[in-house]
Structure 1
Amino acid sequence: MTSNDDTVGGHSVPLRLAVIIGSTRVGRVGEKVASWFAGRARARPDLAVDVLDLADYAFPGCYPEQSTPAMRSFTAAIGEADAFAVVTPEYNRSFPASLKQAIDYAYDEWQAKPVGFVAYGSGSSGLYAVEQLRTVFSALHVVTMRDCVGLDLLGADVGGGEPYDTDDRVRAVAALLDQLTWWGRALRDARRAQPYCS
């Protein structure tokens, strides 16, 4: 059953999912991976999907005394989202500095929302990066999804940067989106009922 706040004109309000491309490297495959994942998310009528590419934001090289327009724009997009899917590579058994920098620009905007991970790497499918991101997001009061989508760039998961739609991968994407949607709706209702207090 859907609450009154979740309907407009008798129609359910889609959950706002922000797909974040965490790498800014030249030659990255993150753009193709994010496009692939966002396409599957957009096929669901219960989701409204935005892609936030960190390469599109002119973030400062060091943390300034006052927020820049790029920082404010990114933080506003995080604030408007109900749920997140972070697309991250694994670099040296961790995630990119560009992603950590962007995460740190917001605080309240992340809180009491769910995040899922679509990771890729050479051999490990990006799982080391995911485990470190779980710790970072937990400190921001974000609910991390148990399941994730992992892609091995050295295996048969990706061709030319484009992930293959195997049966297992289709199921993994569906499971992640189901979890994000459930938690996204539950936490959206909870935030409306009572502001989150960290």
Structure 2
Amino acid sequence: MRKLLLLTSLILLFVGIPAQAATVQYDETGRIVGALGVDVSGVRYDVLFLEGSCVSLASGCDESSDFVFQSSSQANAASWALINQVFIGGNLGPVDNTYGCDDPAYCGAVSAYWQDGTVGGSMASRQDQGGAIATGVSWFTLDSGYENLSSADYTYLTGAVWSVATVPVPAAAWLFGCGLLGLVLSSRPRPAATPV
């Protein structure tokens, strides 16, 4: 019995907690405004879809600390995560159901990055092709044409503003309760063996 308890305890100790899918956030009209817990290369991020210039969305847009992603490959991974976890994962509604995208045929969410002194953008796009939704990722250097991602200028673009997600710490009562349960189960008196 003691070996079984030890084996069970070890298994439970090393069993991984199942992954949690991204939680998509909607406004009162049903448009996607962001997502919590988007997994980008093993790191969880929160993302908001906002309109505005690079200066307003990236705290000045003039130094590396203004950006979560420091390379095009990181931003591209984030764009693919948007497509796979936010746009496709249960959100196959119309293309223009994302905040900042008012064009019914095309929507691009731009994730900005800083690489070697250059500001770039990776765009997760969805396009309505006669009722079928096509997706893809492209990247570019942000020039004056893409600096302001407002509906007035670009009805098909929105800014994806990323931040590292906070990781919840398990409740102390839960941990304490598991420890007490293990202590109680391991110290219970064993019934005496009865002769046959």
* Structure 1 and Structure 2 fold alike (TM over 0.5): no
Structure 1 or 2: larger helix share?
A: 1
Structure 1 or 2: larger strand share?
A: 2
Computing the radius of gyration from Cα coordinates, the structure with the larger value is 2
